[in-house]
Amino acid sequence: MQKTTFKTRLLALLTAVFMVVMCVPFAAFAAVETIHVTFTDENGQVVKNVDITASSNEEAPELPDGFYWKTNLSNDGVSDLNSKAPIDFNDLAKANCEYAGFEKTAKPAPATKPVYVSYILESGATLDAEIEKIEL
């Protein structure tokens, strides 16, 4: 067995202490086990409160046509929900927080744009009278 000096033992001890001091605080960032989810209407009134765990089977509240549940965690990669959609714990856990909020929001109307179509004969001549306006 090789004999070690005092300096080598001290260095090994200090390295171990440094690793413990640097790694233990990250235990505070452990994944959450329960996420409290609140659904509110456009006036801020609470529609539904629910606690979500990895094994829960909760759904978003029902909405009339033309609305969806917009999350306050979209910057963290959490998806918005449609009416009666299942609430996915793994999706909410991306934000790594204990609270999530969803607000009733009207779906934006699809944008339309007028397009003018003119017909060209096989000979290459255009039909001036045949210009049609189509909304896309």
Q: Domain map of the chain by residue range?
A: 33-106
Amino acid at 61: P
Q: Is the dihedral of CA 119, 121, 124, 126 positive or negative?
A: negative
| pLDDT of 25 over the 80 cut | no
Q: Which of 48, 45, 46, 49 is nearest to 36 (CA)?
A: 49
Residue 11 CB partners (closer than 8 Å, separation 6+): none
Partners of residue 81 on adjacent β-strands: 69
Spell out the CATH class of 33-106: mainly beta
**Is the separation of the CB atoms in 69 and 107 below 8 Å?**
no
What pLDDT shows up at residue 17? 85
What pLDDT shows up at residue 24? 66
What pLDDT shows up at residue 128? 65
Residue 132 φ then ψ, to 5°: -120, 140
| pLDDT of 69 over the 90 cut | yes
Give the confidence band of 30 by pLDDT, cuts at 50, 70, 90.
low
